[in-house]
Amino acid sequence: MKKRILVTGGTGYIGSHTVVELQNSGYEVVIVDNLSNSRADVVDSIEQISGVRPAFEKVDCLDYEGLNNVFTKYPGIQGIIHFAASKAVGESVQKPLLYYRNNLVSLINLLELMPKHGIKGIIFSSSCTVYGQPDVLPVTEAAPIKKAESPYGNTKQINEEIIRDTITSGSPIHAVMLRYFNPIGAHPTALIGELPLGVPQNLIPYLTQTAMGIREKLSVFGDDYDTPDGSCIRDYIYVVDLAKAHVIAMNRILEDKQKDKVEVFNIGTGRGLSVLELIHKFEESTGVKLNYQIAPRRAGDIVKVWADPSYANSELGWKAETSIEDTLRSAWNWQVHLREKGIM
Ligand code: UFG
């Protein structure tokens, strides 16, 4: 019998890619999403890609009874992958209480319900944001946690602590916390991808929308940083590679392969790329010219961060495999798909 997994935020960007990979690996998936930042027709696209329609329940993770009903309706759920969260750094500065409520209470509800329903493990979407500006690069999991730059970042740190404290207190659950670097790109079918509402805040959606002519110009936020070309450096990880890390982490929990009841892994490529390098890679790999200008620095930006993913490589047997060229082409193909569908 197929093992049943609950994916919160399963119609979102990383969630939808992960549902596809879970189904491809033989898991049965139940999606819970409040559709606050995604569309219900993502479920159709997931079915089109994988040939399997996941169960879908429109439930907000703040709704304890609603979640409880989902676990009762779908008995035997063994693991949870928890993506559902608010994730806009700038918005979190404007609306801290919204971020603290959404991101903390959702996790607390799940952690309370897990033992009640005999659910063994949870995978939590954490972020390299917990490292702030690391003193040593590439950054390993052992690097110190720095004071968060935003309420959003703080919710990631606090949620990691909530999980640790819950397990220390004797809760029977297991956890893997994955610290993502910068997820980009879209599924090779171009049927699912990132769909930001309004003006994108992140680099890649802004870049592809500019290339499509939706935005006039991409602003490169700063070219006077202490980096080789002066622009900021990040570790851009292909979303499908990232999705696969979740499947491996879930197998690890369910097959009792963990070294500790709570584990943490960096999920990145180990390769740092500057904003300007990324723009040039995009132009080279798609043949599309990009209109961009150098603009002032953006407040709160980390200068440079990239992962040491060697612990995930050796311990999980997972590695980011996709080239940056293929990744950027997939992001462009997705933007073209949105245009063809008349969505954007
Ligand atoms: N950038 C531009 N122009 C833009 C948008 C971004 O130059 O229009 C630059 C930024 O200054 C930064 C780089 O592109 O140097 C990447 O910026 P993103 O906004 O795409 O990503 P961030 O690294 O700022 O943030 C991401 C996630 C957060 C997460 C954080 C962890 O969006 O959720 O990584 O560091 F917390």
Chain CA centroid to CA 261, Å: 22
pTM of the complete model beyond 0.85: yes
Among protein residues, the one with the nearest Cα to ligand 1's atom 10 is: 221
- Hey, what CATH topology would domain 4-185+236-267 get? Rossmann fold (3.40.50)
Rounded to the nearest angstrom, the distance between the alpha carbon of 204 and the centre of ligand 1 is 9
What residues have CB less than 8 Å from 118, skipping those under 6 apart? Answer: none
Q: What is the DSSP letter of 95?
A: -
Q: Where are the domains of the chain?
A: 4-185+236-267, 203-234+270-340
Query: With contact defined as beta carbons under 8 Å apart, do 328 and 282 qualify?
Result: yes
Rounded to the nearest angstrom, the distance between the alpha carbon of 342 and the centre of ligand 1 is 27
Query: With contact defined as beta carbons under 8 Å apart, do 235 and 272 qualify?
Result: yes
**Three-class SS state of 83:** coil
Among protein residues, the one with the nearest Cα to ligand 1's atom 32 is: 202
Distance (Å, whole) CA 74 – CA 210: 43
234 lines ligand 1 (CB under 6 A): yes
232 lines ligand 1 (CB under 6 A): yes
Per-residue pLDDT of the chain (344 residues; tens, 9 = 90+): 899 999 999 999 999 999 999 999 999 999 999 999 999 999 999 999 999 999 999 999 999 999 999 999 999 999 999 999 999 999 999 999 999 999 999 999 999 999 999 999 999 999 999 999 999 999 999 999 999 999 999 999 999 999 999 999 999 999 999 999 999 999 999 999 999 888 999 999 999 999 999 999 999 999 999 999 999 999 999 999 999 999 999 999 999 999 999 999 999 999 999 999 999 999 999 999 999 999 999 988 999 999 999 999 999 999 999 999 999 999 999 999 999 999 98
Query: DSSP letters along 193-227, please?
Result: ----SSS--SHHHHHHHHHHTSSS-EEEE-S-SSS
Residues 99, 152, 180, 238: which is the catalytic one?
Answer: 152
Buried b (16+ CB within 10 A) or exposed e, 261-283: bbbbbbbbbbbbbbbbbbbebbe
Cα-Cα-Cα-Cα dihedral sign, residues 114, 117, 122, 124: negative
Among protein residues, the one with the nearest Cα to ligand 1's atom 14 is: 203
Among protein residues, the one with the nearest Cα to ligand 1's atom 12 is: 232
Q: Tell me the best of 157, 239, 275, 282 to mutate to test the pocket of ligand 1, counting ligand atoms within 8 Å of each CB and taking the most.
A: 275
Query: DSSP letters along 38-74, please?
Result: S-TTHHHHHHHHHS-PPEEEE--TT-HHHHHHHHHHS
The verdict on whether 100 is a catalytic residue reads: no
Rounded to the nearest angstrom, the distance between the alpha carbon of 214 and the centre of ligand 1 is 20
Give rounded-to-5 percent helix, strand, coil for the chain.
40, 20, 40
86 lines ligand 1 (CB under 6 A): no
Specify the CATH superfamily of domain 203-234+270-340: UDP-galactose 4-epimerase, domain 1 (3.90.25.10)
